Amino acid sequence: MLISELPSYEEIWLHDFEFIARPGEQQDVVCLAAHELRSGRTLRLWRDQLGEQPPYRTDRGVLFVSFVANAEVASHLALGWPMPANVLDLSPVFRNLTNGLSTPDGKGLIGMRRYFGLDAIDTKRKDAMRDRIMRGWPFTPEEKEKIQDYCVDDVMLMVKPLELLLADMGEIDLKTALYWGEFAAVSALMFYHGVPIDPEIYPRLSNKNTWRAVRDEMVPVIDAQYGVFVQNAANDWVFSSERFAALLRRMGIYELWPRLESGALNMRRKTFENMSRVFPQLEPLRQLRHARDKMRKIKLAVGADSRNRTTLWPFKSKTGRTQPKASEWIFSPAVWLRSLIKPAPGMAVAYVDYSSMEFLLAASLSDGHCGPVNNMLGMYRSGDPYLSFAKSVGAVPQWADKESHEEVREKYKVMLLSTQYGLTAPSLAIRLGISVFEAHEMLSQHRSQFSQYWKWSDDYIHHAMQTGVVQTALGWTYHVGIVGAINDRSLRNWPVQSAGADVLRISCILAVRHGIKLLAPVHDAVLIEAPTDRIEADVALMQEIMRRASRIVLNATADGTHELRTDYKIVKHPARYIDKRGIEIWEHVMEIIKAQASATTEETEACAVTTKKRESF
């Protein structure tokens, strides 16, 4: 397809903003450059020339082309401008074209031009200009001129790649590309909204000295039940491997703990996380260790309006999933920190998530492959596929439920979600803290129960190796690469994860189209916000939208066989969000902060009394 062959858009604008980005804040727009392809008209406008309305149309008759459109749409929103109706984001189109392939110059605008053999802006100049912009106001007349030239250059650098991408999109039609662009715009809207953060507690936790004191005081409180931390000569708390080994012996799981090649206990973060799933009594210790080792300070990106905002980076992973910067994002660092989420007065938030999403996706993708029997679909319809599987192999009695056999259910949940991606018996044994013999037995049970899935998965691997490329139903593509370098587990994982990304993208797009205030995508869930008296209605609508999105991607039948279920959690002011995995740590942290505040108050009152006595003399 050529630019001249694009649908009958009356105008085609390439545009780019320069802006100052401060953690947690809306973008502080510096300037705009835009070029209209049909007329050749070019705009270069400084901040004081940008009015209450955009200098171009944003309706359905206009196509907007940009690179990383979420940044440009976020600038629209920061200026109070409407979102463009049609967005063609060259970033996901280029990522899709090269996903899995080597791009030595990266996936950015420079990398895209060099991929096509075109000249690109000097990286030193680009870095210098971005550094100057980030230093902020004021700008000299000479700096303003250079920044506007740089902004115009970025716009014009998109013209030739646009032509080449349109010609090289292959099976990806413009409609698919516009759907990706709409999701980039929706991502900008979620950034604009932000996640509400407790305005009283967060400033205390983000204070370096306060957090250091909290970290120190957490240890004796939480470690009282474990006894694995000791104080060194500098009175710093240190995790003792010897004491931890003794703890494992007392718990009777020393022999089950994974080892390094040296024979020492494997204390890597992922290993500790996996073992804590199997032995949940270790979860508070895992979180304490994470807080001590990794959280030297709390540095979430929270703005002056107490909203958490960070660039969501849609399409960044090879499966097309969104990848925000973990240290800045409320849903990344530690689950107990999620209790900082607190709706403002009169408002409520709701966490709406898909139920057993990856299990149903695997069942649906493999349905009808080499035989009519699909036990996976039947187990999903039972309402709890993990417990249903455990019952089918006699691991729990038929009357068991989630509460009565929570630990066994979690064990089979971990097994089912990891085994369907080709996890080996030794690795499964490590992950579950069981013998290799028992892991082999569980793998055999999985292959026996879900033979159709395994036939489909094996055929999928063979197809990928033969063709060198795989693709989702909605066009997201992955180039497999050199056969000898293929990671079998990663490749088995790709179709389920990428289908999940498709489902969540459609959910987010439809939510915004239906007027739901979307705050965040969280892997297989979304966070929404509404006035307290409307939240139940919006949750019901969001659930229907999410079910509809799954039907679209999975081509669900009229009986809803391939339809994903959803769960939800509503939090109304003055309550806060609670994740049960982190509630113990959160409560300890709150007790420490309360004690610190009380001590500070007493000290202040004592000083006031002393001062008053002095003044009386």
What's the pLDDT score for residue 605? 56
- With a cut of 90, say whether residue 356 has pLDDT above it: yes
What's the pLDDT score for residue 603? 58
Confirm if 452 and 366 have CB atoms less than 8 A apart. Answer: yes
pLDDT tens by residue, 406-428: 888 988 998 998 887 778 888 88
Average pLDDT over the chain, rounded to whole? 90
Instruction: Tell me the mean pLDDT in the region 603-613.
Output: 58
Helix (H), strand (E) at residue 603: helix 583-616
Calpha distance 362→267 (Å, rounded): 32
pLDDT tens by residue, 473-503: 999 999 987 544 567 788 888 999 999 999 9
Instruction: Tell me the mean pLDDT in the region 463-469.
Output: 91
Q: Residues of 534-548 as b/e, b for ≥16 C-beta within 10 angstroms?
A: ebeebbebbbebbbe
User: Which residue has 């916000």 as its token pair?
Assistant: 529
pLDDT above 70 covers what percent of the chain?
93
pTM for the complete prediction? 0.92
Architecture of domain 3-193: 2-Layer Sandwich (3.30)
Per domain, the residue ranges of the chain are 3-193, 201-341+579-595
Q: Is 35 helix (H, G, I), strand (E, B) or coil?
A: strand
Confirm if 589 and 218 have CB atoms less than 8 A apart. Answer: yes
Task: Give residue 346's identity as a one-letter amino acid code.
Answer: G
**Residue partners of 40: CB distance under 8 A and separation at least 6:** none
Inter-CA distances, 523 with 302, 437, 498, 499, 608, Å: 21, 33, 11, 12, 52
